[in-house]
Chains A and B, each alone.
Chain A
Amino acid sequence: MARITASVYTSHVPAIGAALDLGKTHEPYWQPVFQGYEFGKQWLKDNQPDVIFLVYNDHATAFSLDMIPTFAIGTAAEYQPADEGWGPRPVPKVMGHPALSAHIAQSVIQQDFDLTIVNKMDVDHGLTVPLSLMCGQPEAWPCPVIPFAVNVVQYPVPSGRRCYNLGKAIAKAVASFDEDLTVQIWGTGGMSHQLQGPRAGLINKDFDNAFLDKLIDDPEAAASIPHIDYVREAGSEGIELVMWLIARGAMADAAGGPKPKAVRRFYHVPASNTAVGHLILENT
């Protein structure tokens, strides 16, 4: 039986990927960001899963305005890093896990979440920056990754509540896979940021830290936050935080099990336009 062992949460700021790719990690501006992930990098080495289920959003890369799936699961054998306009990031291609992907797709759709199934797509910084933060610059990523893309570009995005419930469905799906696999679920994006208009550059440390508190101890309350609160308090792009709720909903306590153990919490302002948040929760 496959099981979810832990969840990882992190921002996926593109400038972090650029800083790493261009060898700027020791510059005073970036050093605190990368320092903040040293624990996570070692933790991942010590707790390497068989598969990472990585929740992220596509930033007008694989999905243009021609098609805008709310929830899309990658079922391919591999995914290439995308050229987002600056040329593709110099990172390894992402190997998928088609058997587990297909299993999760079937199970989750049977639980009334209408996923879009994607057999071919490139993956952008939303997926590769979290891998870089947690793995550094390896020749190959340490394990297969299942990309799970959420629409947070065109409003309305899915509600926090729906994301949280989707996480529960994903956990059920994983638990019904016969092969004995350990799976981590990662929720990425956020924290507070706004990239547009005269309000660009908004950061709200109080909101972000309250969100981290709630996500750890009272995920039901975090799942109840309405869209408008993210927009007003955390910036128009802060709404990416709903994706963290998918990972949180997949933890054991959401289905009546024991509370997870928070082994890492990190917060830093700024990375480019954005507040960086990072958590690791282990199922106990």
Chain B
Amino acid sequence: MALDKPYLDVPGTTIFDAEQSRKGYWLNQFCMSLMKAENRERFRQDERAYLDEWAMTEEQKQAVLARDLNWCIRLGGNIYFLAKIGATDGKSFQQMAGSMTGMTEDEYRNMMIGGGRSVEGNRVVGEDGSAQAHRQPQGSAGQKVN
């Protein structure tokens, strides 16, 4: 029998459930390794060689090299694990979160100062809020979002 997943119709959102966790196990464990300073240094020295030490899929490695967090999340990454990559790059949580919206850092920061993203139109897939698929990318960063 299918599991109860009432969260699949929330726009612009991937809930990190058991299925995503299974897909992303090695990707997330690679991220976890970056909590050690010596591993951050080794990763910085040669990202590809460091990634090749992990049983990740090639696509997961490409997503990490591209620093495309939406792509990483689709492949089973979780933001609290992926944040270790951002920390290694010297990025804040706000820079990381903003990178997933297609906005520039300033655009995203200003949205937050203005009270954040409204929930109106962003509760259910098919409405017309800013997080809906047909409204992407949202800003002028030009980054492809999915």
CB <8 Å contact, A64 and B29: yes
Known: A201-B101, A203-B116. A232 touches B69 (CB 8 A): no
Chain B residues in 8 Å Cβ range of A192: 116
Query: In the complex, how many angstroms separate the beta carbon of A64 from the nearest chain B beta carbon?
Result: 4
Per-position 1/0 for A59-87, Cβ under 8 A of B: 11100111000000000000000111111
Which A199-215 residues have C-beta < 8 A from chain B?
199-205, 207
Chain B residues in 8 Å Cβ range of A14: 93
B interface residues, how many (CB within 8 angstroms): 64
**In the complex, which residue of chain A has the Cβ closest to the Cβ of B73?**
A196
CB <8 Å contact, B117 and A153: no
**How distant is the Cα of A227 from the Cα of B13 in the complex, in angstroms?**
14
**How distant is the Cα of A248 from the Cα of B52 in the complex, in angstroms?**
47
CB <8 Å contact, A197 and B73: yes
Which B93-122 residues have C-beta < 8 A from chain A?
93-94, 96-98, 100-102, 108, 111-113, 115-119, 122
Residue A231 at the chain B interface, CB threshold 8 Å: yes
Residue B79 at the chain A interface, CB threshold 8 Å: yes
CB <8 Å contact, A60 and B80: yes
Query: In the complex, how many angstroms separate the beta carbon of B71 from the nearest chain A beta carbon?
Result: 11
Chain A residues in 8 Å Cβ range of B70: 197-198
Residue A5 at the chain B interface, CB threshold 8 Å: no
Residue B51 at the chain A interface, CB threshold 8 Å: no
**How distant is the Cα of A143 from the Cα of B11 in the complex, in angstroms?**
44
Residue B56 at the chain A interface, CB threshold 8 Å: no
Chain B residues in 8 Å Cβ range of A233: 119, 123
CB <8 Å contact, A197 and B6: no
Per-position 1/0 for A262-277, Cβ under 8 A of B: 0000000110110100
Query: In the complex, how many angstroms separate the beta carbon of A16 from the nearest chain B beta carbon?
Result: 11
Nearest 5 CB-CB pairings of A with B = A203-B116, A85-B87, A199-B12, A198-B12, A199-B131
Interface residues of B (CB under 8 A from A): 6-7, 10-18, 21, 24-25, 28-29, 31-32, 34-37, 40, 69-70, 73, 78-81, 83-84, 86-88, 92-94, 96-98, 100-102, 108, 111-113, 115-119, 122-124, 130-131, 133, 135-136, 138, 145-146
Interface residues of A (CB under 8 A from B): 14-15, 18, 29, 59-61, 64-66, 82-87, 153-156, 192, 194-205, 207, 227-228, 231-233, 236-237, 269-270, 272-273, 275
